[in-house]
Amino acid sequence: MRLLPAPSSQSLRLLFLFIFVMGVAPYPALTAGCPDRCVCDDQLVVQCAGQELTLFPNDLPLATRQLIISNNNIGELPALQLNYLSDLVYLDVSNNTLIEISESTFGNLRKLAYLDLSFNTLTQIEDRTFGPLSSLVMLRLTDNLGLNEIHPDAFSENMALQVLDVSRNNLTTLNISSLIALPSLRSLGLSGNPWRCDCETEDLCLWVQIEGFKFQDEGQTVCQGPPEVSGQRLAEVGMQLRADCHQGLGYWDYLFFIAIGFVIFSAGTVSAWVMGVLMVLYERYNKRKGEDMDSDDEEERHMGGGMMGGGHQGNGDLNKAGMQV
């Protein structure tokens, strides 16, 4: 029986080295690369906070689940690079210098549940900015001191949204039509904004009054203007605004009623004309039908009279013939 040769010491060292490397190597998806000045661990978390980054980090592992790039000087989120991270669940971009974001920024982040954009320099939130984020549960937009406009439909597609914080911005009004329709919304932060409590924010004030439990720091959510309500809580002026904003009719209301009256008058006139035409046609039809029936009756009477006359004449002839016989 032939025995195999014993492994050499060099072969054993290579084997042990291979086993060691396989045992301690990080998750395969993360070995594809880790950005400079960032830390990537085997839990699919990439930590780049406070590294004085001015650009979005390159070479991010495609399997990244959490990305933390807060406390840097990043001014833009490049859609092309960000949307490669289709498994991203948690994104913290707070305390940077973001100026704007668009619909394409988060176009492929269907699994993203947490998004923090606070402490940036955003000025407005456009239509469908967060539309692709169908799994978004928590959104923080606080402390963007230049943020003075949020599109009415900015959150209309975020049906999973539970927590929204827009505190400490520069908002004076907020259209709540899409927010009211969100079935999962549980908490909304509004404090620290210079709210103008007039007819434009009437619905917002009433909503705060009716469902105050949904609002963070409701006691600190106060009106900055007009002067007569300055310092009052939004919940305190809701009913007052309802009464003040619906006391009388405005210029456009009168125009609306005039237009509606003209439309109703025109519709009534046209309807009456059509009914008149139809009645005339109906009368003519009935008259013609009656004339036709009268002529038919007259013809029948003439025909009946002729037949009766002929019958009497024949009987007379027969009688005469019988008498002769």
So where are the chain's domains?
26-189, 251-306
Task: Find, among 131, 126, 76, 137, the residue nearest to 107 by Cα.
Answer: 131
Check residue 71 and give its pLDDT: 97
282 or 298, higher pLDDT: 282
Helices (H), the chain: 9-24, 79-82, 177-180, 202-210, 234-244, 251-324
Angstrom distance (rounded) from CA 229 to CA 199: 13
59 or 171, higher pLDDT: 171
In one-letter notation, the amino acid at residue 294 is D
Torsion angle, alpha carbons of 41, 43, 46, 49, to 10: -90
* Backbone phi and psi for residue 188, each to the nearest 5 degrees, phi listed first: -140, 120
Q: What 3-state class would DSSP assign to 131?
A: coil
Q: Which residues on adjacent β-strands are paired with residue 90?
A: 66, 114
CATH number of 26-189, picked from 3.30.300.30, 3.80.10.10, 3.40.50.970, 3.40.605.10? 3.80.10.10
Angstrom distance (rounded) from CA 170 to CA 125: 12
pLDDT tens digits, one per residue of 256-279? 668 777 788 888 888 888 888 888
Check residue 56 and give its pLDDT: 95
- Answer left, alpha or beta for residue 250, where phi above 0 means left and psi between -120 and 50 means alpha: beta
Judge whether 191 and 216 are in contact, CB under 8 Å. yes
Torsion angle, alpha carbons of 243, 200, 204, 107, to 10: 160
Judge whether 136 and 90 are in contact, CB under 8 Å. no
Q: Which residues on adjacent β-strands are paired with residue 163?
A: 138, 187
pLDDT tens digits, one per residue of 9-20? 444 344 343 333
Strands annotated E in 77-206 = 90-92, 114-116, 124-125, 138-140, 149-150, 163-165, 187-189, 195-196
Query: Strands 163-165, 138-140: parallel, antiparallel or unpaired by DSSP?
Result: parallel
pLDDT tens digits, one per residue of 38-78? 999 888 999 999 999 999 998 899 999 999 999 999 999 99
Residues 6+ apart with CB under 8 A from 173: 195, 196, 200, 201, 204
Residues 6+ apart with CB under 8 A from 237: 197, 205, 223, 229
Q: What is the mean pLDDT of the chain?
A: 82
185 or 243, higher pLDDT: 185
Q: Which long-range contacts (CB under 8 A, 24 or more apart) does 139-143 make?
A: 139/115, 139/163, 139/164, 139/165, 140/94, 140/115, 140/116, 140/165, 141/117, 141/165, 141/166, 141/169, 142/118, 142/166, 142/167, 142/168, 142/169, 142/189, 142/192, 143/118, 143/119, 143/167, 143/168, 143/169
Check residue 2 and give its pLDDT: 39
Judge whether 122 and 144 are in contact, CB under 8 Å. yes
Check residue 252 and give its pLDDT: 62
Confidence of residue 251 (pLDDT cuts 50, 70, 90): low
Angstrom distance (rounded) from CA 197 to CA 208: 12
Check residue 130 and give its pLDDT: 94
